Amino acid sequence: MTRTIKLADGKSIPALQWGNGSGGLNGKHDPALEYGITALKAGVKAIDTAELYKTEVATGEAIKQVGAKKADIWVTTKTHPDYCSAVPPTPEAVRANVQDRLSKLGFKPDLLLIHNPFVIEGLKIAQFWTALEDLVLDGTLEGVSLGVSNFRPQDLEAVLSVARIKPVVNQLEYHPYVLTHLQPVLDIQAKHGIVTEAFGPLTPILRHPTGGPIKPILERIAERLSKETGKKVDTAAVLLLWTVGKGVVAVTTSTKENNIKKIVQVDNELPDLTKEEIDEIESAGRKIHFRYYAEHMSKDFPAPNLPEDL
């Protein structure tokens, strides 16, 4: 079974995804190709790439080389307004940028995101959105879902105030330790049916100095699942199950075959967490604030007055 999440435009997006923008893959064609092939062979059904990562060609190549049907693999890419040829980007420059995405991938992505709202001075992010919508409406991006990434409340409001097509997702650093900060964003998204995609979902166990208050809870649940399933379930798997249990798409990655297989195992072989477990992780996580990708979401969106650890 591949877990999916329904988007507002009716598509079903794979809930567990493998990205080639971190873990040493960002900007590197050959490793992104090699590990993309490993991931697809292991059973990964969705790849997250971006103009910024310079891994779109590798993404298309990996799908071709394993002989997968494009229709069976979900691909998300991201356009970066700063890279448009005109400053600030004109509709023609946005069109040229998007056509470059299609030609680098070798096909239309399933989902195209604006990577970041922090764009060239003078550009209104809403104008960029309008230019993308025009490309959907004139058929250039027919069938492609549109979304955003790293959008704060004010960025979402700016786009929603002009949107003829609402963004279907906002891709954010998302895990229990940023939930309190993200609440205003999540409230807007709930109102408009915008699904959250989590990047950095493993931050609490990988990047927080101690693991913080959710660590013992994750360990206890990992032990329960290991006993009940007879498989070795780690705390990374529990965090990914928590993420999808929240109705959020988990965008993780690995360049270790064993860990890549575990991502697929989470999807295909492990049961959902109970509601009580999901709530317990959430309420412990909300008590602290710890963000790894500090360059995102921090400007003009004050962090809550919470400790980084308890």
Active site residues: 53
Computed over its alpha carbons, how large is the radius of gyration of the chain? Answer: 19
Give residue 105's identity as a one-letter amino acid code.
L
CA distance 84 to 12: 30
Judging by DSSP bridges, how do beta strands 12-14 and 4-6 pair with one another?
antiparallel
* 91 versus 101: smaller Cβ distance to ligand NAP: 101
* 4 versus 149: smaller Cβ distance to ligand NAP: 149
Least separation in angstroms between residue 164's CB and ligand NAP is 24
Q: Phi and psi for 275 in degrees, rounded to 5?
A: -60, -40
* 208 versus 286: smaller Cβ distance to ligand NAP: 208
CA distance 163 to 156: 10
Structure tokens at 272: 């959902």
Least separation in angstroms between residue 92's CB and ligand NAP is 26
Q: State the alpha helices, DSSP H only, in the chain.
A: 29-42, 56-66, 91-105, 125-137, 153-160, 179-192, 203-206, 215-229, 235-245, 257-269, 275-285
The residue number whose beta carbon is nearest to ligand NAP equals: 19
* 23 versus 91: smaller Cβ distance to ligand NAP: 23
Distance of CA 8 to the CA centre of its chain: 16
Distance of CA 151 to the CA centre of its chain: 12
Q: Is 192 among the annotated ligand-binding positions?
A: no
* 107 versus 293: smaller Cβ distance to ligand NAP: 293
Q: Give residues in contact with ligand NAP (CB under 6 A).
A: 19-23, 48, 115, 149-150, 171, 199-203, 206, 234, 236, 251-256, 259, 262, 293
Least separation in angstroms between residue 305's CB and ligand NAP is 25
Least separation in angstroms between residue 232's CB and ligand NAP is 10
Least separation in angstroms between residue 204's CB and ligand NAP is 9
CA distance 302 to 91: 33
Question: Do residues 217 and 242 lie in contact, with contact meaning Cβ atoms separated by under 8 Å?
Answer: no
Binding site for substrate, residues?
115
Binding site, residues?
115
